[in-house]
A and B are shown apart, each in its own frame.
Chain A
Amino acid sequence: MSSESSLFGHCWLPLLLVAPLMLLIVLFFYVPVFQAFYWSFFLEQPFGGGSEFVGLQNFARVLSDPEFWMAGWRTIVFMLTASTLAVAVPLMLAIAADRKIGLSYAARNILVWPKGIAGAAIGVVFAFIFNPFVGLMAPLNALFPGLWNPGMDGTDAFVTLVAAHVWSGIPFNFVILLAGLRSIPPTMYQAAAMDGASPWRRIADVQLPLIMPQLFLTFVLEFTESITSVFALIDTMTGGGPGGSTTLLVYKIYIDGFRGFDLSGASTQTAILMVFVLLLAACQFVFLGRRINYER
């Protein structure tokens, strides 16, 4: 490859070319981020006007609120269950598709389609699927009245939320994991077969270790995704209920900020959530990322 200077004669040309994208990123990502951090140290008026510097008072207020801790705990439970399932389910599907079992070619295409569906639409559809009177669980409810009711039972609502999230996560993770599996040379399986490893053993000893980079990528993305993108699902399916049982942090921020007009409190929680996500990703890279063997 030739040197970069010969490709781009003018040093400002590449900058000019990325400028539109940078503008969007700065305008709609970095500015709000800094704004949120900034507001978390001020007491903002709900309808604009003068703001007052209050130091760490906002943080003290938020951290002493049991509602915040409840929402935080639910967020972590959701993150662990939903993202684990959102990687495990596509992993099983990808291993099956890679094996070339019956219909795997068709499945490979069909499993990708949900990627094109918006979170809110998934929420509406799943709310319907899990509706206690007309949904999938309706026959069971007829047999055992009160068995399933996400509108009344917090756990049922939470399960519904997890199911919808896992389903929406299948396409992307499936594609990534399948690509990883496809790139394992077939002689690797032959060698393992000669060494006496059964197909199940080969999954554990050969396939999973060799798709660690892909598994790592999907986990990191899922962890952050499960914290933030769940908003659309909550908003359409449960509205945070029943009784706040599906009010995750990201939804609580929305409620506090845009319904309760507590802009400072919402900004403070946003800042805390962002730092948490950042630390989480950093920990994953520090403790897991380094151990991953990217060599084939």
Chain B
Amino acid sequence: MTAIDTAIRATAADIELIGVTKAYDAKTTVIPPINVALRPGEFTVVLGPSGCGKSTLLQMIAGLERVSGGKIVIGGREVQDLEPKHRGCAMVFQNYALYPHMTVAENMAYSLKVAGVSKADRAQRVGVVAKMVGLADFLPRKPGQLSGGQRQRVAIGRAIIREPGVLLFDEPLSNLDAQLRHDMRVELADLHRRIGATSVFVTHDQVEAMTLADRILILNKGLIEQFDTPKAIYHHPASVFVAKFIGAPPMNILAVTGDGSALRLADGQVVANYADKGSFQLGIRPEDIAVNAGGSIKAEIRYREDLGSHEILETNIADQNLRITMPFGAEIDTEQTLSLSFPRARLHLFDSETGRAIHNAFDDAKTAPTFVKEYQ
């Protein structure tokens, strides 16, 4: 494998978006000015719900979509006005977009052919790439004779054959079934490690984002909600949107009021001590709630879902829904009222108007670093 490792290896380029914006006309702005810097060799996942502008962003980097303003700098070169082929990017498409009339080998070698690489060199490179993506035995076949996973491998092979400095992925796994998606995820991570290209991966699947990314860029209506490592995003979400988007089941968000000494639910129950006054949104992950461990917060069980490895309880607390994840084998009586406690270190506090996180709200020692960066 070492020979292959050295054969295809990209010179990773950094990507900088400076005030990049996209508007189709005066009224429809898809992406307001965005500023982001991706390090060389970094695997960035752009995550967001459909229609958040993540694919548009990717297409602007690729050069398939014109920017309405701002600069795109790849490897120190301003590229926003260049043709796709001059940007040093390669792309893997959601529907594979393989040329149906060409064989696997021809599909992978097409960019080299256009670039005028000799036939012998093309064949040699195709051989190396085919081995890397596990398609060495399928080179003479047409895409129509391949399975979905194999087609995706061809698409990946086609992208990496030119050793691009930047690899772009547009929801490449969403057409695959669950098992295959998992396998391809592992392979992609492995390929990225071996090739070393700067990768931008667009998806709406938070599992793909959490497992693949060095850093996740979460987009909402074209705005960056948070750009940080998966760990930081999970443990220190910068906004209610991020908190709800990451994690399955998502974080519970409860409306609470601060009276100067404590945060109270609508029915007056105290959930945590807090010094400020006003209305807030309090977040706690379903798995962080301690059940029947001497807590004082009362909740009624409405519904119980047994998932084998764990259970999810849907409970009612001050007329708000609260999900609790219980480990397998926990003895719970559905008729009983639960007494809960919210571990202080696991609580997240958000401004009720802006939805932004209030950092270190419950960090009494005030020593924890501020993970969350503000954009815009």
Interface string of B86-123 (1 = CB under 8 A from A): 00011101110111110000000011001100000000
Total interface residues in chain A, CB < 8 Å:
20
A117 on interface, CB distance cutoff 8 Å: no
Interface string of B314-335 (1 = CB under 8 A from A): 0000000000000000000000
Contact of A190 among B91, B101, B115 (CB under 8 A): B91
Contact of A194 among B62, B100, B142 (CB under 8 A): B62
CB atoms of A193 and B85 under 8 A apart: yes
Complex contacts, B83 vs chain A, CB 8 Å: 193
- Of the listed stretches A12-20, A204-212, A232-240, chain B binds A204-212
Knowing A193-B85, A194-B64, A197-B114 touch, does A293 contact B100 (C-beta < 8 A)? yes
CB atoms of B100 and A187 under 8 A apart: no
A195 CA to B89 CA, complexed, in Å: 9
Chain B residue with Cβ nearest A212 = B101
Chain B residue with Cβ nearest A190 = B64
Complex contacts, A191 vs chain B, CB 8 Å: 91, 93, 97-99, 158
A295 on interface, CB distance cutoff 8 Å: yes
Interface SS of chain A: helix
Count of A-B contacts judged by CB separation below 8 Å: 66
Complex contacts, B110 vs chain A, CB 8 Å: 192, 195, 197, 205
Contact of B97 among A187, A205, A212, A295 (CB under 8 A): A187
A296 on interface, CB distance cutoff 8 Å: yes
CB atoms of A194 and B114 under 8 A apart: no
Complex contacts, A206 vs chain B, CB 8 Å: 99
Total interface residues in chain B, CB < 8 Å:
26
Complex contacts, B249 vs chain A, CB 8 Å: none
A197 CA to B94 CA, complexed, in Å: 20
Q: How far is the CB of A24 from chain B (nearest CB, A)?
A: 40
A197 CA to B112 CA, complexed, in Å: 10
Chain A residue with Cβ nearest B90 = A194
Interface string of B135-179 (1 = CB under 8 A from A): 000000011100000000000001000000000000000000000
Complex contacts, A293 vs chain B, CB 8 Å: 100-101, 142, 144
CB atoms of A196 and B114 under 8 A apart: yes
Complex contacts, B63 vs chain A, CB 8 Å: 193
Knowing A206-B99, A210-B101, A293-B142 touch, does A201 contact B114 (C-beta < 8 A)? yes
A185 on interface, CB distance cutoff 8 Å: yes
CB atoms of A190 and B97 under 8 A apart: yes
Complex contacts, A205 vs chain B, CB 8 Å: 99, 110
A125 on interface, CB distance cutoff 8 Å: no
CB atoms of A194 and B101 under 8 A apart: no
A280 on interface, CB distance cutoff 8 Å: no
Q: How far is the CB of A203 from chain B (nearest CB, A)?
A: 13
CB atoms of B99 and A193 under 8 A apart: no
CB atoms of B99 and A188 under 8 A apart: yes
CB atoms of B142 and A295 under 8 A apart: yes
Knowing A187-B95, A293-B142, A295-B142 touch, does A193 contact B84 (C-beta < 8 A)? yes
Q: How far is the CB of A186 from chain B (nearest CB, A)?
A: 9
Complex contacts, A192 vs chain B, CB 8 Å: 99, 110
CB atoms of B115 and A295 under 8 A apart: no
A-B contact list, 8 entries, CB within 8 Å: A190-B93, A190-B97, A193-B84, A194-B90, A194-B111, A197-B114, A293-B142, A295-B142
- Interface on B for A, CB 8 Å cutoff? 59, 62-64, 83-85, 89-91, 93-95, 97-101, 110-111, 114-115, 142-144, 158
